[in-house]
A and B are shown apart, each in its own frame.
Chain A
Amino acid sequence: MDLSSQHPPLSTCPVSLTINGQIRNFDLHPWVSLLDLLRGPLELTGTKKGCDHGQCGACTVLVDGERMNSCLKLAVSLDGAEITTIEGLGTPDDMHPMQKAFLEHDAYQCGYCTPGQICSAVALLKEGHAHQRHEIREAMSGNLCRCGAYTNIADAIEEVLGTEAAASVREAAE
């Protein structure tokens, strides 16, 4: 993608990112955050901007499987990384289990913090530290929800955690 029409004062760097399974090559100005790359030129607006300062978690995406505030990452620093955004987790017709659980538990209202909450929750389960509700709450505290859907979000995560645990018990037994 050619972004040189933007005449920035700095020269560009080549960066290669795998975004939602697709390899993309860019010549990027160093001052572009991953968040602004996604939300701007790439038009992947499922990743939200709530503060641009690492305070709200709305911009959470998965970078090599780990949750990260994309506003705090310069895109050029991620050469070779694999990035999954909310769009890559599922589609309206084929939702990720976490997306389904959010829908079922009404774990959102305005929906603006939601992609960040979901990406964060998906990574949280993979991290494997959160087993109980208070641990979920603690480990999700970087994702603010001004609509106050917290209890429903915890319910949704608990449900997915439960089914995943059940599935791994089944697997182990087989």
Chain B
Amino acid sequence: MLNSSKVVGLPLPRIDGPLKVTGRAPYAAEHFAPGMLQGYALCSTIATGRIAEIDTSEAERMPGVVKIYTHENRPKAARRDEKWKDEVAVPGHPLRPLENDRILYDGQPVALVVAESFEAARDAAALIRVRYEAGEPHTDLFREQANSYVPPVLRAKDMAPPSPRGNAEAAFAQAPHQISAEYSIEGEYHNPIELFGTTAIPAEDGSLMIHDKSQGSQNSHDTICKIFGLNPDKVTVRNSFVGGAFGSGLRPKHQLFFAVMAALDLKRPVKVEMSRSEMFYLTWRPSCIQTVSLAADEQGRLQSVMHHALEATSRYEDYQENVVNWSGLAYKCDNVTMSYEIAKLDVSTPGDMRAPGAATGITALEAAMDELAYEVGMDPLELRVINFVHRDQNQDKEITSKALHACYREGAARFGWSERSHEPRSMREGNELIGWGVATGIWEAQMSPAEARVSLSAEGKVVVSAAASDIGTGTYTILGQLAAETLGVALSEVAVEIGDSRLPTTSVEGGSWTAASSGTAVQVAGRMIIATLLKHARKMDNSPFAKATEDQVELSDGRLVLEANHQLGVAVSDIMGEAGLTVIEEHAKVEPDKAIQKKYSAYTHSVVFVEVRVDEELGQVRVTRVVDAVAAGRILNPKTARSQVLGGVVMGIGMALEEEGMVDHRTGRIMNHNIAEYHVPVHADIEDIEVIFVDEDDDKASPIGVKGLGEIGILGVAAAVSNAIFHATGSRIRSFPITIDKILESETMQ
């Protein structure tokens, strides 16, 4: 229940915007302290083996160098895995920087130079001589298929594919229409524009202030305290502003360890900022090989779904994500088999990247659906419509809401899908072949336990506090909006404090759950303030609230009023004055409703329509139009919500056409570890993108009706692009990214 003075749902500009657009928002490596030192890491140039010798003598002679750390002199830190495991660690043995002479992946840090200036640290690092004994690297997933395995320890309970239902093999064999294809996706790198950085500032009293690039200040805090055995009360981690992360900041990165290690050892402030090439040695969206087999009856109704995926992981940890499970719930089908395996490579541990698992799995599923549509001979959108399902067949649960039909309808109308001619290669303009493709997207609507503190002063000033993060998602703004609306004040009266480990407990920002979780906590804390006000107001003489219950009152323009009659009310300042209070503060703790979770599954849905134009001679692809229609429950702020989806679409276009880590498998090294050669979409690549939010009421996915938006924007995009390329050219290209060379080599483009 929300106040009638509307703040939520308005397309308001971000409250942190003025600081960002004027360059006043300080990110992790933008804090200063007297006597600050700079750290610079040296990374290994082999992918596997050991350091035979490391000679720092010349580097140490560089004026300005204070200390060089290698595995030979690294200060003590925890040894046990448990101490290194962060809140979202995966099964295995977390990497401990500079622990010993072993090299497990290309770019593993082998030394840290700490100097009086950045320039001295950087140049000294170039003077460190390392002699390696290199082993034979295994980095090619195709070649390691033989060594794949089912993860023996699950990262999370729901990570394993559900057991098969029906008989997919038999149903496949009997069906009149079948397709079966292998899809491969190269590894991708998150590459937020902000480099990973940490500033660690020790104080006289033994306390430590840390500014860390992270998607969770408390995760960084708890992990670093365990590693160095620090008193948690004396350590603060802040991440007030985060220059993008997309999942790469979920687990603490080595610069946090380095900055804290050197600050403790040298008793001086230390800043460590990575180089861009180092950003390729942290984590990545794992390369993946998938097989999808689909079968349908004459009308296109799915008879069988089989989906198998193999993904890369590192030598030292078993990263896992949910790639295939989506295939069991996206459409109605009674015969389904899914399986998921991983294989070890000499690489850094993969990690969650925007819509982890789903972005990979749904790309294959939705490309396969397009193939099936052409096999059956029906419109690809129609095929999806007739296979619509109302239930979560994987878990045999109801779905809280699914306005996907509205997405199909409104998206198709806006895009003009009905004008499409079915035949591939049937639309062109000049030397450009035109193709239209469609794909569905799906992501879990999750809520995690969260806390928030909200205070209201007699003057009507509101402060919201939670250890949540804003990685560009709009957390500052939407938490402010929820507090403003609940407490009946203007957004300008609300101060939002987030990004600080001392604030009320919040999980890492990931999985699109922040709005639903922290948002609910803020609203509950706001309602608690109203309850407290009501309690005091009831005691006043001639109180209009003598018989009112909490549900019957709300705050509006600085007054506690009866919801049914705003004329009846008392000024908040009077209530507080009478009670002898200047401020009321409440702390809320929320968690998902177990009873609802038992009965229901909750998902966000989308459909993406894409137009591509392919230059017939050059093979160059332009994505000229995208319409993404999204059903994500209640939209708190259409402006920031739209941006979330736009960003996802852009990254999806990158996934479809540009992004791939290129590894030289002879050396196991990433060749394009810079953002000139690792291509991401630039202004010139992005033309028209339209976002539609369809109406969707949901009172179960989260108490505030929100489902989350961080991931849904990318889903379906790569598949829709590839389907559009097929429609334009007549060629199926099943290896992502679909680069120009693959297009030019395809059958129909020769």
Q: A-side interface residues toward B, CB under 8 Å?
A: 3, 5-9, 29, 31-32, 36, 39-40, 43-53, 55-56, 58, 85-87, 89-92, 95, 99-100, 102-104, 106, 108-115, 118, 136-138, 140-154
Contact = CB atoms under 8 A, between A and B. Distances in A.
Contacts of B120: 6-8
Contact of B195 (A50, A106, A140, A153): A50
Contacts of B119: 6, 8, 29, 31-32, 36
Given A6-B116, A51-B675, A92 B194 contact: no
Nearest to A49: B195
A111 B689 contact: no
A161 B134 CA distance: 57
A114 to B, nearest CB: 6
A97 to B, nearest CB: 11
Interface in B113-171: 116-120, 123
A58 B14 CA distance: 21
B242 to A, nearest CB: 6
B276 interface: yes
Contact of A137 (B16, B21, B241, B686): B686
Contact of B683 (A9, A106, A138): A138
A91 B686 CA distance: 30
Contacts of B642: 106
Nearest to A33: B119
A153 to B, nearest CB: 7
A47 B23 contact: yes
Contacts of A91: 22, 24
B193 A144 contact: yes
A149 B646 contact: yes
A148 B646 contact: yes
A48 B194 contact: yes
A137 to B, nearest CB: 4
A149 B647 contact: yes
A150 B471 CA distance: 17
Contacts of A85: 23
Chain B contact residues: helix, strand, loop or mixed = loop
Contact of A109 (B21, B25, B472, B683): B472
B79 interface: no
Interface string B4-38: 00000000011011111111111100101000000
A117 B704 CA distance: 35
B625 to A, nearest CB: 12
A31 B32 contact: no
Interface in B632-648: 639-640, 642-644, 646-648
A90 B17 CA distance: 13
**Which of B16, B242, B650 has the most chain A CB atoms inside 10 A of its CB?**
B650
B651 interface: yes
Nearest to A31: B119
A72 B275 CA distance: 15
Given A45-B23, A55-B276, A40 B117 contact: yes
B544 interface: no
A115 B683 CA distance: 16
A46 B195 contact: no
A30 B258 CA distance: 28
B276 A51 contact: yes
A32 B21 CA distance: 26
A148 B647 contact: yes
Interface of B: 13-14, 16-27, 30, 32, 62-64, 116-120, 123, 191-195, 241-246, 273, 275-276, 471-474, 639-640, 642-644, 646-651, 674-676, 680-684, 686-689
Given A110-B471, A111-B16, A86 B23 contact: yes
Contacts of A154: 683
B639 A102 contact: no
Given A6-B116, A6-B117, A45-B23, A103 B683 contact: no
Contact of A104 (B13, B20, B651): B13
Nearest to A136: B683
B316 to A, nearest CB: 28
Contacts of A141: 682-684
Given A48-B27, A86-B22, A114-B20, 15 more contacts: A46-B22, A46-B23, A48-B194, A53-B676, A99-B21, A110-B242, A111-B243, A112-B193, A112-B244, A136-B683, A137-B683, A137-B684, A144-B193, A146-B680, A148-B681
B22 A140 contact: no
Nearest to B65: A7
Contacts of B246: 146
Contact of A152 (B22, B275, B646, B680): B646
Contact of A111 (B21, B245, B275, B676): B21
Contacts of B273: 49
A87 B26 CA distance: 12
Contacts of B675: 50-51, 55-56, 144
A50 B64 contact: no
A123 B220 CA distance: 40
A135 B137 CA distance: 46
29 contacts: A6-B64, A46-B24, A48-B194, A52-B275, A55-B674, A58-B193, A87-B23, A91-B24, A92-B19, A95-B21, A100-B21, A106-B14, A106-B17, A106-B643, A108-B21, A109-B472, A110-B244, A110-B472, A111-B25, A111-B243, A112-B244, A113-B193, A143-B683, A144-B682, A146-B191, A146-B680, A148-B648, A149-B647, A151-B689
A45 B683 contact: no
A97 B716 CA distance: 37
A50 B650 contact: no
Contacts of A100: 21
Contacts of B21: 86, 95, 99-100, 102-103, 108, 111, 114-115, 118
A143 B682 CA distance: 7
Nearest to B242: A110
Contacts of A147: 193, 244, 472, 643, 647
Contacts of A44: 23
A144 B647 CA distance: 12
Of all A-B residue pairs in the complex, the 5 with the closest CB atoms, nearest first, are A46-B23, A148-B650, A112-B243, A111-B20, A110-B472
Contact of B241 (A9, A111, A149): A111
B473 A109 contact: yes
B17 A36 contact: no
Contacts of B275: 52
A56 B13 CA distance: 26
A151 B244 contact: no
